[in-house]
Copies of this chain bind each other. A is one copy, B any other.
C-alpha cells in the first residue's frame, strides 16, 4: 500500500479533482454532523459499503442509512454534538474512473453544556466513483488508532 511502501502512484490527482474531493468531504460530513442522514447516505452509491469499527458492516445505501439513523438517534438523545473532520487527503487514481482516497480523520465530541474534546483519531479509506457527474463513496473502511493491534 502506498502508505506502507512509499511507492508513488503514477500521478497525483489534478488540482481540479483534488479540490472537488476536499469539497465533497466538507459537504458529506456536514450532512452527517447535522443529522441529515438520508442526504448523507445519498453520497454513497446504491451498492456502497461501509465498514467501521464497533458497528455492524453495512452493505448498500439503505443499510448504511438505517445503521446511521440508529447512531444519530442515540446521539440526539444524549445531546452530544459530534464533528467529523477529514484532512491529509491522499487521492490515488486507479485509472478506471475510480479513486482510492485515504484521509486522516478526527472526531470531536461536545456534550451538552460541556467542553469540546477529541473523541477519536481514525484513518478513512474510501473508493470514490463518479456517478452522473457527482462523486459518491462506493466503499469505505475506517480504522481507529485506539483499536490498533
A residues contacting B by CB (< 8 A) are 2-6, 8, 12-16, 18-20, 22-23, 25-27, 29-31, 33-34, 36, 38-40, 42, 81, 83, 85-91, 102, 104, 106, 108, 110, 112-118, 120-121, 134, 144-146, 148
Contacts and interface: CB of A to CB of B under 8 A. Distances in A.
Contacts of A115: 146
B3 A13 contact: no
Contacts of A13: 19, 23
A32 B116 CA distance: 22
Contacts of A25: 88
A30 B90 contact: yes
A14 B91 CA distance: 18
Contacts of A12: 19-20, 23
- Which of A14, A19, A106, A134 has the most CB atoms of chain B within a 10 A radius of its CB? A19
A6 B88 CA distance: 24
A112 to B, nearest CB: 7
B22 A18 contact: yes
B6 A36 contact: yes
Given A29-B88, A118-B118, A120-B116, A6 B110 contact: no
A6 B18 contact: no
Contacts of A121: 83, 108, 110, 116
Nearest to A144: B116
